[in-house]
Amino acid sequence: MHPLALLLLGLRLAGAGFKICAFNAHGFGEAKSGDTWVMGALILVRCDIAAVQEVRDVKGDAMQALLRELNRYDPSHSYAQLGSRRLGRGTYKEQIVFLYRADLVTVTDWYQFGEAGDFARGPFAARFHVPSTAIKDFVLLSHHVSPRDAPHEIDQLHQVCQELSQRWGTQNMMVLGDLNAGGAYVPHNAWGSIRLRWDPRFHWLIGDGVNTTVRARTHCATTGTRVAWGDQHGDVGGLAPPIAGRTGGAESPWQRLSVNLWGKGVGVGERLPLSTLQSPTLGLLWHWCRLEGRGKLRDSSPLTPSLPPRIVVQGDELLRAVVPGSAKPYNFARSLGLSEEEALQVSDHYPVEVNLYLAGQAPREL
């Protein structure tokens, strides 16, 4: 069904280093179809270690099926898993699962944090020994941040890293996963109090403006979001009509309105601060569109922001082992030739990935 895609993926892996991935699988479990397991295998077969989040697999059957697909598609390696306990304070539970190539990777220890106080779902950490990499030993800490308390949980991950450093005697640590680190969940003025962000020992490898959402009409990265209004034909973009005394721009009753809430500044079609998400600005603009009959709300980005997974590295030694420019999202829809609808059956987010230098390769100078 996908031999050409697998061949292309294999070619991309050649000489790429040791690949670490994080993937929010969006409710992965028995409810997902067999085709979804196949697609999941096609995505994760690229990774030497993958932190898979939002696994809702009570019996474990879905993860076993995914492992079978991985081992079938890539018989040159032997895949294994290490799963957290089921996480969550209420009836909703999910897991974090590390999938890894057991012929290359050894899990030397792991630790599960609890959910008392700081976290709605406890972070999960594992220590890995990989002799084929330039750094050999490192810790991966994966956490699916609750959007209801994102600034506090992201900040507390700083303390978690310090506890793990003391427990295992290493600074070589990577935080990865869906941190919900942006949009309306983390206001711009909250970043100054988030230690994981401003402590110079931590390096954020995925840029603030990078989008990893599958939905083409939704984009909200770490520092802002965008929303578009469409004309009567459903088109988006064009010049902004006059509003609040502004002149020019409107050419017809159905002239299109495009509002960009990204960065600094004010005004329609200009750059607005993130605080407008929690101010009357959007409401006034929508009220104007409704009264004037000149547009309709096309994209609900402020209400359903797409918040990308992140990769954060602690310590200069691990940072030197990272291949420059390798930290990025993997657009599996484009690589596997999927429509948006087909891709959404797998997940609403693309995975993020980063490569480590192999042993014998020269680590970069900082």
Instruction: Please report, for the domain that includes residue 208, its CATH number.
Output: 3.60.10.10
291 and 182 share a domain? no
233: left (phi > 0), else alpha (psi -120 to 50), else beta?
A: alpha
122 and 259 share a domain? no
For 34-44, b/e burial (b = at least 16 CB within 10 A) is eebbbbbbbbb
Q: Are the C-beta atoms of residues 258 and 230 closer than 8 Å to each other?
A: no
Predicted confidence (pLDDT) at residue 68 exceeds the cutoff of 60: yes
Specify burial of residue 11 (Cβ count, 10 A radius: 0-12, 13-18, 19+).
Answer: exposed
Q: Mind listing the pLDDT tens digit for each residue in 73-126?
A: 899 999 999 999 999 988 899 999 999 999 999 999 999 999 877 899 999 999
Q: Mind listing the pLDDT tens digit for each residue in 142-161?
A: 999 999 999 999 999 999 99
Higher pLDDT, 15 or 185: 185
174 and 96 share a domain? yes
Is residue 30 in a domain?
yes
Shortest CA distance to 25 belongs to which of 346, 337, 278, 318?
A: 346
Is residue 77 in a domain?
yes
Q: Are the C-beta atoms of residues 294 and 285 closer than 8 Å to each other?
A: no
69: annotated active-site residue? no
Q: Mind listing the pLDDT tens digit for each residue in 251-271?
A: 333 233 333 333 333 333 333
53 and 10 share a domain? yes
Among the candidates 273, 297, 321, a domain finishes at: 297
pLDDT at 116: 72
Among the candidates 250, 267, 297, a domain finishes at: 297
Backbone angles phi, psi at 114, to 5 degrees: -90, -175
What is the total count of domains within the chain? 2
Which entry of 69, 94, 153, 353 is annotated as an active-site residue? 94
Which entry of 26, 144, 203, 219 is annotated as an active-site residue? 144
Is residue 362 in a domain?
no
269 and 140 share a domain? no
Specify burial of residue 287 (Cβ count, 10 A radius: 0-12, 13-18, 19+).
Answer: exposed
pLDDT at 362: 67
120 and 241 share a domain? no
- Residues β-bridged to residue 310: 177
Is residue 249 in a domain?
yes
Distant-in-sequence, close-in-space partners of 52: CB < 8 Å, separation ≥ 6: 23, 25, 28, 44, 96, 97, 98, 99
SS3 call for 160: helix
Is residue 233 in a domain?
yes
pLDDT mean across residues, the chain:
75
Work out the pLDDT band at 232, boundaries 50, 70, 90: very low
Is residue 58 in a domain?
yes
SS3 call for 269: coil
Is residue 148 in a domain?
yes
110 and 24 share a domain? yes
Is residue 158 in a domain?
yes
26: annotated active-site residue? no
143 and 256 share a domain? no
Domain limits for position 340: 3-216+307-356
314 and 212 share a domain? yes
277 and 320 share a domain? no
167 and 83 share a domain? yes
- Give the DSSP H or E segment for 34: helix 34-44
285 and 319 share a domain? no
Among the candidates 279, 297, 315, a domain finishes at: 297
